[in-house]
């Protein structure tokens, strides 16, 4: 991190803060200053992510790589070296899942690498519950920093109940810039300042995560206020919340409580700040000050994007009574120093000489992007320990992508247009193609018309170049979901689209539930800004992908849809599908076996109103998907592999299937 750039940026931001303080010391009556470096939703991106940026709002596009764990480590180390005042380095959760590294190593590789980061604490994300609580417990007990969650009760879970490294909060005692962890306020010395970091996890975790075991999750606002009150009663007056609930709910948490000074967030993958000049959109205010419940106090909110591409740094000032005086800072995208003028990244596309210097100069002058070298020790360790197995696991080349195909969860995010992701519609179209192949369709017994995909189930862009089997099964669709086929009418389909899109409209909301489609198209028009809208047009494709023929969808007509079993069972807010199966359903869940494909008949779903979760009741037996099972259950990935192999050349669909018109 270039010190001069960072100092200038923070100085400018501090001048715009709601209030300021010229006192820069941390002793006695003179207040306390704290720097927080933070990351979130790193999702096992040990290697850099291929990406691009623009040199100015309408400037040239430069193809580069962002982040990766070694580059994050180097950036964090530079912040620590440049900062002479008290500092915390925090992770907002969801280190798990996302790349082939996690598929091959589960939690062990993350435990290894994150323990080298010098983290002070991490919030529990929903993807930390993707396996089971035994594997999560192993991860928690292996790392050298605490995992935090104050609104979670693991007492009844046999795997997690005994973990001493899973805590509601962690106390840090500072003597100047010297920091130590303490368990009780009474352990602090008279000359030390105490900062509490409280973990907050999703209260509706069982509706999102599949491996929560016997853990109970409690109200985010109510439980956190109780914890804050208890700490305040003990004399702790500097309180940081480390959350994994999403930016919109971070704001609600700040507005619904008192005495929280800073919220360091995760879950919504929000790269807070105006990155329009880099082609990455205006994603909301970094270090936003939100009025608390008493309309007197203020809470500062930050979050640092996704996939280990950026690091956040916020400087916080307190007065001698622990009242928040100001907060200022920024996110910084971390780029490599190899630039191309085309997404194919061929040798002829490499920028050299004056062209390279032009990009380097632009980066030097822009405070929101920085060229940071990778930490060499961590890179060597990854390449020696984890890379060989990863390379072997990718399998055969099945297609080629002439250009990068972009994925964003919600239209308009990350500088995208009103149509959003180009990858998710391709996957949905591929599911329809796969289901209607003779060997698959013979076990379904009916033609599949529509594919539905939740944006959060798609984890990466499709890079230009060779597309191998592992790009689908290990990266793009890594959750090993099987596909479900069921019949719903147009009314249910419209309600599903409306309710899931409405839930993504609030600023900073988690957009994993956003629906993309294949075999059809729709337009959603927002009516109440950031609140609600309606499906203004919806059509089914009765033709082909290359020669579509559009006919309006009727609310009373039945349609055969294919969707992964996670969303088919009403998870992550897809309640319209869950509710449609409560009495009865014709749904079948599709897996692959050693001899072909097999369909498991679902009789109906049941609903737990207390936890807002659905359970599947099979007519006979359920798919056997555990480590000892006989079924090959990742038919979501297998379907796209078959589709890619058929296409040979992977390109965006020739038509737009998803359109969102936002209200001005």
Average pLDDT over residues 348-376: 97
Decide if 250 contacts 289 (C-beta within 8 A).
Answer: no
The helix/strand/coil state of 204 is: coil
Alpha-helix runs per DSSP H in 144-194 = none
Residue 234 CA: distances (Å) to CA of 171, 187, 189, 441, 483: 12, 12, 14, 65, 52
Decide if 66 contacts 48 (C-beta within 8 A).
Answer: yes
Chain mean position to CA 228:
27
Q: Tokens 């919340």 map to which residue?
A: 241
Q: Looking at the structure, do residues 152 and 197 belong to the same domain, yes or no?
A: yes
Q: Looking at the structure, do residues 314 and 446 belong to the same domain, yes or no?
A: no
Decide if 336 contacts 64 (C-beta within 8 A).
Answer: yes
C-alpha span between 373 and 544 (Å, rounded): 48
- Domain assignment present for residue 385? The answer is no
Q: Looking at the structure, do residues 223 and 125 belong to the same domain, yes or no?
A: yes
- Domain assignment present for residue 472? The answer is yes
What is the residue range of 512's domain? 395-567+633-661
- Domain assignment present for residue 609? The answer is no
- Among candidates 221, 171, 176, which has minimal Cα distance to 197? 171
Residue 612 confidence (pLDDT): 87
Backbone Cα Rg of the chain: 25
Q: Tokens 């099964």 map to which residue?
A: 473
Q: Which helix (H) or strand (E) holds 78?
A: helix 69-82
Residue 162, domain CATH: 3.60.21.10
What residues contact 496, with CB distance under 8 A and at least 6 apart?
452, 488, 515, 574, 576, 577
C-alpha span between 220 and 576 (Å, rounded): 25
Q: Looking at the structure, do residues 333 and 421 belong to the same domain, yes or no?
A: no
pLDDT at 414 over 90: no
The helix/strand/coil state of 395 is: coil
Kindly state the tokens that stand for 396.
């055969």
- With cut-offs at 50, 70 and 90, classify the pLDDT of residue 30: confident
pLDDT at 22 over 60: no
Q: Looking at the structure, do residues 358 and 440 belong to the same domain, yes or no?
A: no
Residue 556 is classified by DSSP as T
Decide if 566 contacts 479 (C-beta within 8 A).
Answer: yes
Which among 348, 378, 408 is the end of a domain?
A: 378
Tell me the backbone φ, ψ of residue 253, rounded to 5 degrees.
Answer: -65, -45
Domain count, the chain: 2
Kindly state the tokens that stand for 545.
């992908």
Q: Looking at the structure, do residues 263 and 412 belong to the same domain, yes or no?
A: no
For the purposes of burial, counting CB atoms within 10 Å of the CB of 89, is it exposed (0-12), middle (13-18) or buried (19 or more)?
A: buried
Q: Looking at the structure, do residues 361 and 427 belong to the same domain, yes or no?
A: no
Q: Looking at the structure, do residues 108 and 220 belong to the same domain, yes or no?
A: yes
Decide if 448 contacts 517 (C-beta within 8 A).
Answer: no
Interhelix angle 3-15/69-82, rounded to 10 degrees, is 70
C-alpha span between 427 and 458 (Å, rounded): 9
Residue 374 confidence (pLDDT): 98
C-alpha span between 442 and 340 (Å, rounded): 47
- With cut-offs at 50, 70 and 90, classify the pLDDT of residue 57: confident
Sheet (strand 588-592) strand order: 515-518, 450-454, 558-564, 483-489, 588-592, 597-608, 613-618
- Domain assignment present for residue 590? The answer is no
C-alpha span between 543 and 68 (Å, rounded): 43
Across 40-54, b (16+ Cβ under 10 Å) vs e yields: bbbbbbbbbbbbbbb
Query: Of 1-5, 309-313, 402-406, which has the strongest mean pLDDT?
Result: 309-313
Which of residues 14 and 99 earns the better pLDDT score?
99
- Among candidates 617, 364, 650, 639, which has minimal Cα distance to 481? 639
Instruction: State pLDDT tens for residues 461-489.
Output: 998 889 999 999 999 999 999 999 999 99
Beta strand 147-148 with 121-123 is: parallel
pLDDT at 17 over 90: no
Q: Other C-beta atoms within 10 Å of 603: how many?
A: 13
C-alpha span between 135 and 138 (Å, rounded): 5
pLDDT at 454 over 70: yes
- Domain assignment present for residue 624? The answer is no
Residue 326 confidence (pLDDT): 97
Decide if 207 contacts 613 (C-beta within 8 A).
Answer: yes
Which among 352, 378, 404 is the end of a domain?
A: 378
Please provide the DSSP assignment of 224-278 as one string.
Answer: HHHHHHHHHHTT---EEEEE-S-HHHHHHHHHT-SS--EEE--SS--B-SB-GGG
The helix/strand/coil state of 326 is: strand
Q: Looking at the structure, do residues 26 and 79 belong to the same domain, yes or no?
A: yes
Model pTM above 0.85: yes
C-alpha span between 162 and 572 (Å, rounded): 29
Q: Tokens 């008949």 map to which residue?
A: 601
C-alpha span between 583 and 603 (Å, rounded): 9
Decide if 526 contacts 663 (C-beta within 8 A).
Answer: yes
Residue 454, domain CATH: 3.90.780.10
- Domain assignment present for residue 196? The answer is yes
- Among candidates 408, 428, 429, which has minimal Cα distance to 420? 408
- Domain assignment present for residue 212? The answer is yes
Residue 415 confidence (pLDDT): 80
Which among 331, 348, 378 is the end of a domain?
A: 378
Q: Looking at the structure, do residues 324 and 468 belong to the same domain, yes or no?
A: no
Query: Vertex 131, ends 42 and 643: CA angle to 5°?
Result: 75
Q: Looking at the structure, do residues 152 and 12 belong to the same domain, yes or no?
A: yes
What residues contact 444, with CB distance under 8 A and at least 6 apart?
435, 485, 588, 590, 599
Instruction: State pLDDT tens for residues 594-648.
Output: 899 999 999 999 999 988 899 999 999 999 987 677 899 999 999 999 999 999 9
Residue 232 CA: distances (Å) to CA of 209, 250, 472, 541, 643: 33, 20, 49, 60, 58
Instruction: Share the mean pLDDT of the chain.
Output: 94
The helix/strand/coil state of 46 is: coil
Decide if 318 contacts 38 (C-beta within 8 A).
Answer: no
Q: Other C-beta atoms within 10 Å of 105: how many?
A: 18
Average pLDDT over residues 224-231: 98
- With cut-offs at 50, 70 and 90, classify the pLDDT of residue 115: very high
pLDDT at 452 over 90: yes
Q: Looking at the structure, do residues 249 and 348 belong to the same domain, yes or no?
A: yes
Average pLDDT over residues 341-363: 95
C-alpha span between 333 and 285 (Å, rounded): 16
- With cut-offs at 50, 70 and 90, classify the pLDDT of residue 2: low
C-alpha span between 601 and 444 (Å, rounded): 10
Q: How far apart are the first and last CA of the chain?
A: 37
pLDDT at 285 over 50: yes
C-alpha span between 444 and 589 (Å, rounded): 9
- Among candidates 143, 188, 100, 187, which has minimal Cα distance to 395? 100
Residues constituting the chain: 664
- Domain assignment present for residue 602? The answer is no
Write 628-632 long-range contacts (CB < 8 A, 24+).
630/593, 630/594, 631/482, 631/591, 631/592, 631/593, 631/598, 632/591, 632/592, 632/593
């Amino acid at each position: 991190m270039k010190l001069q750039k960072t100092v200038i940026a923070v100085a400018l931001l501090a001048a715009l803060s709601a209030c300021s303080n010229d006192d820069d010391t941390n002793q006695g009556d003179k207040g306390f200053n704290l720097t927080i470096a933070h990351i979130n939703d790193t999702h096992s991106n040990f290697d850099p992510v291929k990406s691009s940026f623009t040199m100015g709002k309408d400037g040239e596009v430069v193809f580069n790589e962002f982040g990766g764990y070694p580059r994050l480590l180097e950036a964090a180390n530079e912040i620590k070296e440049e900062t002479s005042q008290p500092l915390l380095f925090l992770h907002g959760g969801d280190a798990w899942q996302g790349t082939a590294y996690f598929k091959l190593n589960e939690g062990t590789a993350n435990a290894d690498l994150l323990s080298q980061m010098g983290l002070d604490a991490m919030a529990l994300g929903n993807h930390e519950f993707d396996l089971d609580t035994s594997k999560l417990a192993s991860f928690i007990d292996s790392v050298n920093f605490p995992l935090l969650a104050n609104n979670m009760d693991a007492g009844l879970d046999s795997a997690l109940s005994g973990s001493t490294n899973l805590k509601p909060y962690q106390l840090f005692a500072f003597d100047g810039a010297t920091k130590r962890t303490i368990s009780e306020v009474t352990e602090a010395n008279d000359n030390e300042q105490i900062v509490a970091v409280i973990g907050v996890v999703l209260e509706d975790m069982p509706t999102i995560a599949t491996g929560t075991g016997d853990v109970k999750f409690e109200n985010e606002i109510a439980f956190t206020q109780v914890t804050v009150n208890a700490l305040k009663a003990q004399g702790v007056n500097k309180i940081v919340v480390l959350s994994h609930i999403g930016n919109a709910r971070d704001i609600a948490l700040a507005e619904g409580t008192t005495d929280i000074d800073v919220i360091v967030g995760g879950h919504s993958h929000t790269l807070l700040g105006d990155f329009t000049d880099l082609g990455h959109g205006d994603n909301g205010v970094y270090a936003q000050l939100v009025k608390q419940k008493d309309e007197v106090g203020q809470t500062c909110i930050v979050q640092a994007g996704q996939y280990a591409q950026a690091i956040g740094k916020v400087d916080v000032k307190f007065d001698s009574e622990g009242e928040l005086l100001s907060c200022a800072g920024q996110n910084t995208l971390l780029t490599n120093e190899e630039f191309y003028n085309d997404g194919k990244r061929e040798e002829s596309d490499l920028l050299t000489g004056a062209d390279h210097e032009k990009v380097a100069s632009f980066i030097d002058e822009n405070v929101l992007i920085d060229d940071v070298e990778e930490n060499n020790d961590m890179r060597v360790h990854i390449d020696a320990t984890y890379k060989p197995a990863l390379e072997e696991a990718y399998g055969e080349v099945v297609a080629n992508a002439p250009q990068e195909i972009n994925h964003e969860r919600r239209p308009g995010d990350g500088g995208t247009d009103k149509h959003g992701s180009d990858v998710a519609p391709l996957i949905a179209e591929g599911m329809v193609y796969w289901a209607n192949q003779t060997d698959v369709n013979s076990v379904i017994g009916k033609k599949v018309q529509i594919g539905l995909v939740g944006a959060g189930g798609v984890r990466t862009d499709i890079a230009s170049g060779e597309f191998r089997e592992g790009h689908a099964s290990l990266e793009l669709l890594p959750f090993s979901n099987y596909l479900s086929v069921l019949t719903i009418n147009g009314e249910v389909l419209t309600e599903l689209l409306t309710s899931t899109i409405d839930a993504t409209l609030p600023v900073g909301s988690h957009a994993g539930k956003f629906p993309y489609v294949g075999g059809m198209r729709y337009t959603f028009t927002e009516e109440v800004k950031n609140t609600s809208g309606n499906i203004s047009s919806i059509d089914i494709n009765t033709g082909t992908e290359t020669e579509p023929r559009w006919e309006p969808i009727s609310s009373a007509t039945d349609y055969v849809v294919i969707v992964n079993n996670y969303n088919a069972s009403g998870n992550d807010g897809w309640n319209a599908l869950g509710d449609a199966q409560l009495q009865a359903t014709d749904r079948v869940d599709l897996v692959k076996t050693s001899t072909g494909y097999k369909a498991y008949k679902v009789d109906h779903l049941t609903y737990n109103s207390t936890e807002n979760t659905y359970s599947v009741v099979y007519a006979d037996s359920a798919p056997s998907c555990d480590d000892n099972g006989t079924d090959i259950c990742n038919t979501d990935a297998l379907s796209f592999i078959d589709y890619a192999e058929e296409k040979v050349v992977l390109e965006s669909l020739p038509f737009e299937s998803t359109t969102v018109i936002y209200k001005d």
